[in-house]
Amino acid sequence: MTVNASTFPRTGFWFALAALVLIAADRVGATPCPEADAEALAWLDKMSRSLHQVDYHGVVTFQRGDDMQAMEVSHSVVDGLATERLTELTGQGAEIVRVDHPLECIHPGHQLLQVGAALQAGHCGVAEYYRFAVVPGELVAGREAVQIRIEPRDMYRYGYIMQLDRDTGLLLKSQTVGRGDKVLEKFQFASLSYGATTAAAQPGTHLVHKALHPEPGVPELSVGGVRPAWTVNWLPQGFTATDQPVAGDERRTYTDGLAVFSVFIEVLSEEITPGEGVVRTGGTTSYTRGMHLAGLPVLVTVIGEVPLNTARMVADSIAGAQ
């Protein structure tokens, strides 16, 4: 799926939402991670199951700084297949749809968030990189919520505050938190109803982005023709590729289960002026710099839900592959 970041909040807001609600803790009990909060993991388990069990429809607000957008979201599950739709109610009226996605299809980022399974296997899993805690919640879209606080254990990722529906476990509100407990962006349901919905397209929708499901490890078509082989030699602990890297790919995506970022390589027709470019919008950082790979001038872009220092260190580690 290709979505213009300037048109849509974050890179596929719906799938950021879906990633958050897919945290799982299969069983919570004695654990080798003394700081792992058993109650928080149990709530995260309930949240993960809500994605498979709950049909819902509502209006969500998304805020970054002074900019606020409103979106209509819907989710339904029929015969083991999930259908999702996100439509802007402001801006250009763009729409993202994903139809008949099999529930048994578990993506790499989701696998990282199987917290309970990791603990049972003797590993901390994502709890090695984040601290989880339960604190009193608030009222969101008329629903009583339980609050889960997620604090990073290092400087390479952000924290999150999530409000879960006390009855269903559905994610009602999420805040991305940066240094100094600064809220970088947030979304929340303004209205919410449970039950089946037809998720019909909105009249006047200008842009429709269909969420595709490419095979892992299959390279994308190249526009420029020449694609130098390259590798990323540094990632923050806990981050892993979402698919099998291919030497000449123009894009690679990494996740620790909560945060996601992508690295793009663009071959240039001429030399680029030395320097770097940075754009930060809410919790999304876009970092660019020029370099040479296999003797070719290229533009490197790191974009995603990570701090600037993380994006810069990832870009600095890129080198040509043999």
Domains of the chain plus CATH, in order, are 13-210 (2.50.20.10), 230-320 (3.30.200.100)
Q: Is 128 exposed, middle or buried (0-12, 13-18, 19+ CB in 10 A)?
A: middle
pTM given for the model = 0.78
pLDDT level of residue 303 (50, 70, 90 thresholds): very high
One DSSP character per residue, 242-305 reads SS---TT-SEEEEESSS-EEEEEEEE-SS---S-EEEEEETTEEEEEEEEEETTEEEEEEEEES
Residues in the chain: 322
Question: Can you point out the beta strands (E) in 141-227?
Answer: 143-152, 159-165, 171-177, 183-194, 208-210
Residue in the structure block whose two tokens are 């476990």: 169
With beta carbons less than 8 A apart as the criterion, state whether 175 and 163 touch: no
With beta carbons less than 8 A apart as the criterion, state whether 273 and 290 touch: yes
CA gap 287, 279 in Å, rounded: 7
pLDDT level of residue 213 (50, 70, 90 thresholds): low
**What proportion of the chain, given as a percentage, has pLDDT over 90?**
42
With beta carbons less than 8 A apart as the criterion, state whether 13 and 20 touch: no
Mean pLDDT, residues 300-313: 96
- Positive or negative: CA dihedral 312, 317, 320, 321: negative
Mean pLDDT, residues 106-132: 62
Mean pLDDT, residues 267-290: 90
The larger pLDDT score, comparing residue 226 to residue 184, is at 184
pLDDT at 246: 67
CA gap 86, 59 in Å, rounded: 10
Which residues 6+ apart lie within 8 Å of 269 measured at CB?
none
Q: What is the pLDDT of residues 46-78, one digit of tens each?
A: 887 777 678 999 999 999 878 899 999 998 888
pLDDT at 81: 80
